[in-house]
Amino acid sequence: MDSVLTRNIQLNWLRTFEAAGRLQSFTLAATELNMSQSAVSQQIQLLEHHLNQQLFVRARRAIQLTDAGRAFLPLLQDTLNQLNAGAAQIFTPLNAAVVEVNVNTAFAVLWLAPRLQQFHAIYPQISIRQLGTNWSTDFDISTAELEIRYGGGHWPGFEALPLVTPYLRPWCSAANARRIRQPEDIAQLPLLDVIGTPLGWDSWLGMMGLDALKDLPRQYMDSHATAVTMAANGFGICLNYDELMQQGVLAEQMVAPFTDTIETDGNYYLCYQVDKALSPASLIFRDWLIDAVGVGAIKVEASI
């Protein structure tokens, strides 16, 4: 192999290419890496120039890997995984550590489960023990160092970091989305309403001027995970957060038929007590989660 190809190559170029290639989108890569879309495009162009190879075919609204890009992506992913795993073994003083996390069921199913393999690839010596919860009373008796709660973000004595953008939009199966041409058409589908969500279908319908549809029969459940599962199986339409619909088997079956969103006071938060030091393994998982969702710049001040 010509050493010139890897001499002076920048890690940022490689990370950006890996995200864009895996997600098949400069926009989604920009969101994941907390960069602008133009910065992602520039990083890719610099890598292509360095390799003297086009890695993506760029269309008006989509990108596609070239043959060279498809061949390079798995090689790069394997290399990055080996680098991360090796660095973790060398620089992380942990052996068979266990991190217990009390986690909201919807976040666990829709966000964490599709991504936990990425954490394991970097830190194979750390086991994550997930304990599913939905209601605030479940957390009152928690002994876990880390918690992922749904709510308003103000819990005395806790640091709270928001994990998603607090906007809800309708989601349904691809088959049902093809039946919807305009907002009024959702009357054909059962509305799936999540109990305990501060804003829901009444708010979205009111914003769209569809107050007449507020009296439609609804199905109720206490978790976005249940609502998404029902919608993915063709039963109804639900409201959900975009970040929970980006990866995983369920997300692949879902479509957002409208771009219109409502802002909600509720959010998913990473929480931990401010007066207790986290264990080394919990610190590692916390930092990985913060990096994965890109919330470092929007921390909510602790309430004491």
Q: What is the CATH number of the domain that holds 145?
A: 3.40.190.10
Q: What gap in Å lies between CA 32 and CA 292, rounded to an integer?
A: 7
Tell me: pLDDT of 266 over 50: yes
Indicate if 33 and 66 belong to the same structural domain: yes
Indicate if 171 and 253 belong to the same structural domain: yes
Indicate if 125 and 49 belong to the same structural domain: no
Q: What gap in Å lies between CA 94 and CA 223, rounded to an integer?
A: 35
Residue 146: phi, psi to the nearest 5? -120, 145
Tell me: pLDDT of 12 over 80: yes
Q: What is the pLDDT of residue 97?
A: 84
What percent of the chain is predicted at pLDDT more than 90?
A: 59
Indicate if 176 and 238 belong to the same structural domain: yes
Indicate if 104 and 119 belong to the same structural domain: yes
Higher pLDDT, 174 or 296: 174
- Write the CATH number for 75: 1.10.10.10
Summarize pLDDT for 199-217 with one digit per residue, the tens: 789 999 999 999 999 988 8
Per the CB < 8 A criterion, the answer to whether 282 and 92 are in contact is no
Indicate if 103 and 143 belong to the same structural domain: yes
Residue 18: closest CA among 112, 88, 81, 60: 81
Indicate if 149 and 212 belong to the same structural domain: no
Indicate if 109 and 67 belong to the same structural domain: no
Summarize pLDDT for 241-260 with one digit per residue, the tens: 999 998 889 989 999 999 99
What range does the domain containing 62 cover? 3-91
- Please say which residue of 74, 91, 108 terminates a domain: 91
How would you classify residue 294: left for phi > 0, otherwise alpha for psi between -120 and 50, otherwise beta? left
Tell me the whole-structure pTM to 2 decimals: 0.66
Tell me: pLDDT of 5 over 70: no
Q: What is the pLDDT of residue 293?
A: 87
Indicate if 160 and 273 belong to the same structural domain: yes
- Please say which residue of 52, 71, 91 terminates a domain: 91
DSSP 277: P
Q: What gap in Å lies between CA 293 and CA 283, rounded to an integer?
A: 16
Q: What is the pLDDT of residue 302?
A: 33
Indicate if 270 and 233 belong to the same structural domain: no
Tell me: pLDDT of 1 over 70: no
Q: How many residues does the chain have?
A: 304
Torsion angle defined by CA atoms of residues 247, 252, 253 and 255, in that order, rounded to the nearest 10 degrees: 80
Give the count of domains, the chain.
3
Beta strands in the chain (DSSP E): 56-58, 63-65, 97-104, 126-133, 146-151, 158-162, 167-173, 191-194, 218-221, 237-241, 254-255, 262-263, 267-273, 300-303
Residue 165: phi, psi to the nearest 5? -75, 125
Tell me: pLDDT of 80 over 50: yes
- b/e per residue, 104-125, with b = 16+ CB within 10 A? bbbbbbbbbbbbeeebebbbee
Q: What gap in Å lies between CA 103 and CA 100, rounded to an integer?
A: 9
Token couple for 85: 């795993």
Tell me: pLDDT of 295 over 80: no
- Please say which residue of 70, 91, 112 terminates a domain: 91
Per the CB < 8 A criterion, the answer to whether 294 and 227 are in contact is no
Angle at 199 between CA 196 and CA 203, to 5 degrees: 140
Quick one: pLDDT band at residue 142, thresholds 50, 70, 90?
A: low
Mean pLDDT of 3-8: 66
Q: What gap in Å lies between CA 138 and CA 153, rounded to an integer?
A: 16
Residue 134: closest CA among 150, 111, 157, 152: 150
Token couple for 267: 């959010």
Q: What gap in Å lies between CA 291 and CA 84, rounded to an integer?
A: 14
What percent of the chain is predicted at pLDDT more than 70?
A: 88
Lowest mean pLDDT among 68-77, 102-111, 141-150: 141-150
Indicate if 48 and 118 belong to the same structural domain: no
Mean pLDDT of 46-69: 90
Q: What gap in Å lies between CA 282 and CA 293, rounded to an integer?
A: 17
Indicate if 133 and 245 belong to the same structural domain: no
DSSP 261: -
Angle at 300 between CA 32 and CA 112, to 5 degrees: 40
Tell me: pLDDT of 76 over 50: yes
